Every structure is written in C-alpha cells, then in structure tokens.
Amino acid sequence: MALPLDAALLVELERIKRLKYAYLRCLDQKLWAELRALFVDDATASYGGGRYEHDDADAIVDFISDAMGDPGVHSSHRVTHPEIDLTSPTEATGTWALDDTVIDTRFDVTVRGAAFYEDRYVKVDDRWLIAHTGYKRTYEEVFPRTSIEGLVLTASWWSTRGRSELG
C-alpha cells in the first residue's frame, strides 16, 4: 500500500528523484566513489533484463566501472516517468522509463535501447539510498558505426573535454 500523497510526501519524492538523477549522472560521468555512496551496502541489482545480477554495493559499482570506465565509452542514460510510492516512511518503490545510448569508440559500435526500471529505496539516517535497482528491456539494438558512411564523433567528455568540434 502506498502512503497518501501530500506536501510532506512530495518532499520525500523529490529527494528520491534526486538520488536517481545523481546515480545516472555518476554513471555517465564515471564518478565511481560518488556512485558507491548512493547504495546501501547490501544493495542488489539486475541489469540487462536479468542477465547480470549482483547482491552487494561494491560488486555493483565494480561491475559498472569495469563495463563503463574506459574513456572510449560515451553513454547517455536518461530516465523519465517516475511512479514512486512510499510503502512506509523509510521505504519506497519506483518505476522509471529508461532510454540509453552507448557509443564505444574502442569497438566502433553504438548500442541503443529502452527499458523499465523497478527500484527499491530506503531511508537511512535521513538519506534516501538505493536498496535495489534493475530493469527489463523493451528493446535493445546494436550496430557497427562504420555501417553509416561519414558518421563521426564531434565531441567527447574525455577526448575533447566536452567541446564540440563540429563544422
């Protein structure tokens, strides 16, 4: 059962949304220490629609930083459509829609997809943290970037320090 929505609850929802936004910013900016601090120690995760399962915050962050840590990996993970319910004053569930793009210049591939997250959050010492995160894919697709003639990368957070070299 969800607690009834009122102004005090809205404050909690905003704080939970910011937790999720910080998670995604850390993911796409490769901020691993800040990312780690967003999880409870025994957090669980299910990525790739259940293909990758983890049951420890350190293992989650290790998995992500291994997969995404190389500066050739350029990612945009964007969530929208939060449907968040507090199930107690210190527990919440959240559904989100995800659209993500990963451009990996090491292998010259683009991966794109869409998914729905099902998360759980807990409030510890007045801070909301991620207890579980996981998503199931609506679709995912991959293509070699050489298949689109003239496709070029004109900016990179890492190799051009975020500056456009277009035109």
- Where do contacts with a copy of itself occur on this chain (CB under 8 A)? 5-8, 10-11, 13-15, 18, 20-22, 24-25, 28-29, 48-51, 74-76, 78-83, 95, 97, 99, 101, 103, 111, 113-116, 135-144, 147-157, 160-164, 166
Q: Measured from the CB of residue 72, what is the shortest distance to a copy of itself in angstroms?
A: 11
- Cα 145 to Cα 107: distance, rounded to the nearest angstrom: 9
Q: Which two tokens stand for residue 129?
A: 């943290």
Q: Measured from the CB of residue 116, what is the shortest distance to a copy of itself in angstroms?
A: 7
Q: Which is nearer to a copy of itself, 18 or 42 (CB)?
A: 18
- Cα 70 to Cα 65: distance, rounded to the nearest angstrom: 8
Q: Which residues pair with 115 in a beta bridge?
A: 98, 137
18: Cα within 13 Å, side-chain hemisphere: 8
Q: Which is nearer to a copy of itself, 33 or 167 (CB)?
A: 167
77 Cβ contact list (under 8 Å, min separation 6): 24, 27, 28, 98, 100
Q: Measured from the CB of residue 109, what is the shortest distance to a copy of itself in angstroms?
A: 9
Q: Which is nearer to a copy of itself, 73 or 122 (CB)?
A: 73
Q: Measured from the CB of residue 14, what is the shortest distance to a copy of itself in angstroms?
A: 6
5 Cβ contact list (under 8 Å, min separation 6): none
Q: Which is nearer to a copy of itself, 44 or 75 (CB)?
A: 75
- Cα 5 to Cα 83: distance, rounded to the nearest angstrom: 12
Q: Measured from the CB of residue 67, what is the shortest distance to a copy of itself in angstroms?
A: 10
